[in-house]
């Protein structure tokens, strides 16, 4: 990217994430944990840093404390890259006593940040997707196309068009129509069953964005997908950037080309985890050429006392003591006791799975002490009486549903350091104190 191209990024991290409830009961969607030691927001922030875009404002709103703490502890890179900053910006109500009313309104309420920095280009990206992307390549396409705004796009099944912004394009990738979550859509060129969907990632010429934000505010509009982009189709040059053309160094041939997942539902979130497992996963978390940065890890190494483990992740500070793990994802400081059986499970920080417990197709949120011999995921009718169960049968056990057992001890698990786990504020489990 030419040195004289000044880029400012806004990351939209204010999503409430109601479809991810109960994982979002006490945290916003971008702060939800992912894989062994990441959070969802780490993907977009890593993509920006790897793309040499170092000026980023993270716009937050709902239940943001966990996200703010994560960014404070994990994303201080100024000592390595002096010009780098990621600044968390809550609603400042500079234009009246109102929270962000939409994605465009969130940027408008911080329009002074654009005016003071005077960038050439503004990137507006979502914070709740799992993917790798070289944003420089999209910016280069934007500039070569002489576009006023560019929209990153991917093909989606026509049956899913009501979940995305859908664009129609001409032969030169110019957007001729933009509809936000339409009930139906016509197929994209060259396909009978797919439409071209917006990924929620936009590149704007800064002067054009400033004009549109001011016009939007005067007309009472609030959202990029619902208002600004559809209205710009007739007055400006909008182009669709084909995400499939984006190339990332270090990607292995067996990985899914142009992998991108919107993990806005429990089912999608659950499945994306297992896309990262195996010797040849669809999405490989480890790529030294394009790392997804994680929070600092001060916990001890994981310890496997004995057991049977098949295609699983065991986070730092975790102990497996004579248990069976089959497609299990353990985050940090998890104890799985003798005889327990985990099958297609995600177990979050500071949780204990008791002796002989059997857990299947389940997400156990942090700070849970699952009693011995409990069965979860085998009788969904009973599970629905206690927990959240998705239509596909994934059971979600909310944080702290099972308090720590009194007087229970383990010779294997070291005292817990809650800060090193970067979890949400919660009482330490007595058994681990």
Structure tokens at 358: 């059997």
Q: How far apart are CA 264 and CA 65, in angstroms?
A: 20
Residue 329's Cα: distance from chain center in Å?
17
Helix (H, G, I), strand (E, B) or coil at 7: strand
Q: Which positions ≥6 away from 76 have C-beta within 8 Å?
A: none
Residue 177 backbone phi and psi in degrees, to 5: -160, 145
Helix (H, G, I), strand (E, B) or coil at 33: strand
- Segment (H or E) for 322: strand 319-330
- Would you put residue 419 in left (φ > 0), alpha (ψ -120 to 50) or beta? alpha
Q: How far is CA 382 from CA 176, 335, 375, 385, 395, in A?
A: 51, 25, 10, 5, 11
Nearest to 426 by CA among 395, 401, 405, 397: 401
DSSP conformational letter for 340 = -
Q: How far apart are CA 314 and CA 178, in angstroms?
A: 44
Query: Which amino acids are annotated as binding site, given as ranges?
Result: 165, 180-181, 198
Q: Which positions ≥6 away from 372 have C-beta within 8 Å?
A: 337, 354, 355, 356, 357
Structure tokens at 197: 């969907």
Do the beta carbons of residue 7 and residue 119 sit within 8 Å? Answer: yes
Nearest to 269 by CA among 42, 32, 11: 32
Neighbours of 285 (CB within 10 A): 18
Residue 297's Cα: distance from chain center in Å?
19
Helices and strands (H and E) in the chain: how many: 10, 24
Q: How far apart are CA 60 and CA 72, in angstroms?
A: 14
DSSP conformational letter for 160 = G
Query: Which amino acids are annotated as binding site for alpha-D-glucose 1-phosphate, given as ranges?
Result: 165, 180-181, 198
């Amino acid at each position: 990217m030419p040195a004289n191209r000044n880029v400012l990024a806004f990351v939209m991290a204010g999503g409430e994430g109601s479809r991810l409830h109960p994982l979002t009961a006490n945290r916003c969607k971008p702060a939800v944990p992912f894989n062994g030691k990441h959070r969802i927001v780490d993907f977009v922030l890593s993509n920006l840093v790897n793309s040499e875009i170092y000026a980023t404002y993270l716009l937050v709103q709902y239940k943001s404390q966990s996200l703010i703490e994560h960014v404070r502890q994990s994303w201080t890179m100024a000592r390595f890259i002096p010009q780098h900053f990621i600044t968390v910006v809550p609603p400042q109500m500079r234009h009246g006593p109102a929270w962000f009313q939409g994605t465009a309104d969130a940027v408008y309420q911080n329009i002074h940040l654009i005016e003071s920095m005077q960038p050439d280009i503004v990137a507006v990206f979502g914070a709740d997707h799992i993917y790798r992307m070289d944003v420089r390549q999209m910016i280069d396409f934007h500039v070569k196309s002489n576009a006023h705004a560019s929209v990153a796009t991917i093909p989606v099944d026509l049956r899913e068009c009501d979940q995305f912004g859908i664009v129609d394009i001409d032969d030169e990738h110019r957007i001729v129509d933009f509809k936000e979550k339409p009930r139906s859509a016509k197929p994209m060129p060259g396909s009978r069953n797919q439409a071209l969907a917006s990924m929620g990632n936009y590149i704007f010429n800064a002067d054009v964005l400033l004009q549109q934000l001011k016009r939007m505010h005067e007309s009472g509009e609030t959202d990029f997908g619902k208002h600004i982009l559809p209205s710009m189709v007739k007055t400006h040059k909008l182009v669709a950037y084909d995400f499939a053309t984006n190339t990332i160094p270090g990607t292995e041939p067996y990985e899914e080309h142009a992998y991108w997942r919107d993990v806005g539902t429990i089912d999608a979130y659950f499945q994306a985890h297992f896309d990262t497992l195996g010797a040849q996963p669809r999405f490989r978390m480890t790529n030294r050429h394009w790392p997804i940065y994680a929070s600092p890890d001060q916990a001890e190494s994981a310890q496997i006392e004995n057991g049977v483990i098949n295609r699983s992740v065991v986070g730092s500070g975790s102990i497996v003591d004579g248990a069976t793990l089959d497609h299990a994802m353990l985050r940090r400081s998890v104890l799985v006791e003798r005889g327990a059986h985990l099958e297609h499970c995600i177990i979050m920080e500071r949780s204990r799975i008791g002796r002989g417990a059997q857990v299947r197709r389940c997400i156990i949120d942090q700070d849970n002490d699952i009693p011995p011999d409990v069965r979860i995921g085998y009788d969904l009718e009973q599970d629905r009486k206690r927990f959240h169960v998705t239509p596909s049968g994934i059971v979600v056990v909310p944080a702290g549903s099972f308090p720590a057992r009194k007087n229970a001890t383990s010779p294997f698990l070291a005292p817990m350091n809650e800060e090193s786990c970067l979890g949400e504020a919660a009482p330490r489990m007595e058994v681990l104190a």
